[in-house]
Each structure stands twice: as structure tokens, then as C-alpha cells.
């Protein structure tokens, strides 16, 4: 089991619904869905590139739920196949009840993989250190004395290839990253991203003029809960 340390911020009985007197088990997991574990197919991308991940290491910190803070969690490579279950970060006994006040921080994402199209292959290995706090998440975690409750941090890897930060339905493109490979050696480096403009990408009001900052900004939209649940975000570029 992944190591974690618990700092009890207050009594576990912080919500009226959680004060029934019975204890249950709360499991916290992280899951990258099929796009991380199996890759993003050419059919899913809007420009025909197929993307797969050799590793997708996420560092999570300060998971707050059920009146406690879970910290000191080891980085997790969410590209490891889990058959849909995700990977466990913590398991704790808490008061049975319903918990809605949840938040967490993704402090780092280290991603490596490749993209292919028409016989061309481009590799990438990017360290995205942009701490982002996800809070007021749209989910309810139910813990019963007879059945464990699960709070899942869901990572949406396809967001790294959005063509817009503000569009409701952005498209998925890799071509701009492929074009950034200025020495044509097949490896897209961070230095090459920093030297490449964002072209037709839509940054909204964000002050972004190169692909390195673009990827950082997109990395701060990866976090969700229990699949498609959204959270408010602090710390975005």
C-alpha cells in the first residue's frame, strides 16, 4: 500500500450526516481512465495522431475529506493498468455518513510517451511542476458501516492536447507539438516547446506565448473527481 500520513484537522464528525456513531471505511484512489492506461487512439484525436504513455506519474498532496487531511502520499504512475479500479492512495476508518467537502492538490505531473501518425513517431518526456489545488468538488462520498466508500481523483490526460483553454468543447491536437521538434530527431524537448509559439491555440485571457507554458496551463485542468465531477481550481497559470 502507498504510504500516507494523516493529520487530523478536527473531529471526524464534522458534518451532521456523519454523526451516526458507526464507523466505516473510506478509500481514496486515483485513476487515469483508458486514455492514460491504454492511450488515445487516432480516432479520438482530431488531427489523426495516436498518443500513448510510457509513464504518467502524478504527485498528490493534501487530500481533505471526512474531516482529515491525507498528506505525504508517494507519487503514483497511473499508466499502470488497473482494469478500471484505479490505484489506492489511502484507506482509513471514518464515521459513517455523506461527505461533500472535498479537496486535493496535484503538485506535479511527469509524463512520458510517444505519438505516431503515418509512420512518423515523436517521443516526449515533460516534467510539469505546477501545483494546483482542486476544491469544492462536485461529488458526494457515501461511507456506510457495512460498505466502504470511495473518493476517486480522476485524471483526464486528453486535456494535455486541448486546442483551447476556454472552449466548452475543445478539440484534441498533437500536430503543434510534432512541429516543435526543430532538429527533427524525433524527440520533443522542453527547450523546443519553450521556443515554439502557440499558433492558433486559444489561451483566452491567459498570457501564454509558447508551447511550454501552454502545456503547463493545460496540466492544471487535469484533475476531476469520480469520473466527470468538476472542482474549483486555485493556482492556475
The alpha carbon of 235 is separated from its chain's Cα centroid by a whole number of angstroms, namely 14
**134 beta partners:** 104, 233
Continuous segment of H or E residues that includes residue 155: strand 149-155
Give the confidence band of 7 by pLDDT, cuts at 50, 70, 90: very low
Task: Point out the least confidently predicted range of 71-75, 205-209, 232-236.
Answer: 232-236
Q: To the nearest whole percent, how much of the chain has pLDDT over 70? A: 90
Q: What is the DSSP code (8-state) at residue 75?
A: P
pLDDT at residue 22, as a whole number:
83
* Segment 93-132, tens digit of pLDDT: 999 999 999 999 999 999 999 999 999 999 999 999 999 9
Question: Measured between alpha carbons, how far is 230 from 237 in angstroms, rounded to an integer?
Answer: 18
Q: What is the mean pLDDT of residues 9-20?
A: 40
Q: What's the pTM value of the predicted model, to 2 decimals?
A: 0.88
Q: What are the φ and ψ backbone dihedral angles of 130, each rounded to 5 degrees?
A: -140, 85
SS3 annotation, 76-98: EECCCCCCCCCEEEEEEEEECEE
pLDDT at residue 21, as a whole number:
53
CB atoms within 10 A of CB 92: 17
Q: What is the mean pLDDT of residues 188-208?
A: 96
Question: Is residue 17 over pLDDT 60?
Answer: no
CB atoms within 10 A of CB 110: 16
Question: Do the bridges between strand 149-155 and strand 23-31 make them parallel or antiparallel, or are there none, so unpaired?
Answer: parallel
Question: Is residue 143 over pLDDT 60?
Answer: yes
Q: How high does pLDDT run on average in the chain? A: 91
DSSP for 95-144?
A: ESEEE---EEEEEEEEEEEEEEETTEEEEEEEEE---EEEES-S--EEE-
Asked if 140 contacts 26 with a C-beta cutoff of 8 angstroms, the reply is: no
Question: Is residue 13 over pLDDT 90?
Answer: no
Q: Where are the alpha helices (DSSP H) in the chain?
A: 33-37, 175-179, 190-195, 211-219
Nearest Cα to Cα of residue 225 among 162, 139, 164, 143: 139
* Segment 26-64, tens digit of pLDDT: 999 999 999 999 999 999 999 999 999 999 999 999 999
Higher pLDDT among residues 237 and 66, named by residue:
66
Q: What is the mean pLDDT of residues 53-77?
A: 95
Give the confidence band of 237 by pLDDT, cuts at 50, 70, 90: low
Q: What angle do CA 207, 209, 212 make, to 5 degrees?
A: 105
Give the confidence band of 235 by pLDDT, cuts at 50, 70, 90: confident
Amino acid at each position: 500500500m502507498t504510504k500516507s500520513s494523516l493529520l487530523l484537522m478536527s473531529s471526524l464528525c464534522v458534518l451532521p450526516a456523519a454523526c451516526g456513531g458507526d464507523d466505516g471505511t473510506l478509500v481514496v484512489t486515483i485513476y487515469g481512465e483508458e486514455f492514460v492506461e491504454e492511450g488515445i487512439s487516432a480516432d479520438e484525436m482530431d488531427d489523426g495522431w495516436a498518443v500513448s504513455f510510457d509513464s504518467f506519474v502524478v504527485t498528490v498532496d493534501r487530500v481533505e475529506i471526512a474531516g482529515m487531511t491525507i498528506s505525504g502520499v508517494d507519487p503514483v504512475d497511473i499508466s499502470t493498468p488497473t482494469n478500471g479500479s484505479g490505484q489506492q492512495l489511502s484507506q482509513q476508518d471514518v464515521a459513517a455518513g455523506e461527505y461533500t467537502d472535498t479537496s486535493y492538490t496535484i503538485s506535479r505531473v511527469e509524463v512520458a510517451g510517444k505519438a505516431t501518425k503515418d509512420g512518423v513517431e515523436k517521443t516526449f518526456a515533460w516534467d510539469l511542476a505546477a501545483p494546483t489545488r482542486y476544491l469544492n468538488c462536485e461529488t458526494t462520498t457515501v461511507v456506510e458501516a457495512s460498505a466502504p466508500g470511495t473518493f476517486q481523483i480522476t485524471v483526464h490526460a486528453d486535456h494535455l492536447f486541448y486546442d483551447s483553454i476556454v472552449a466548452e468543447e475543445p478539440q484534441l491536437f498533437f500536430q503543434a507539438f510534432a512541429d516543435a521538434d526543430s532538429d527533427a530527431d524525433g524527440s520533443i524537448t522542453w527547450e523546443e516547446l519553450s521556443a515554439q509559439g502557440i499558433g492558433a491555440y486559444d489561451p483566452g485571457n491567459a498570457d501564454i506565448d509558447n508551447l511550454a507554458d501552454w502545456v503547463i496551463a493545460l496540466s492544471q485542468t487535469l484533475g476531476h473527481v469520480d469520473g466527470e465531477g468538476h472542482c474549483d481550481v486555485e493556482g492556475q497559470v
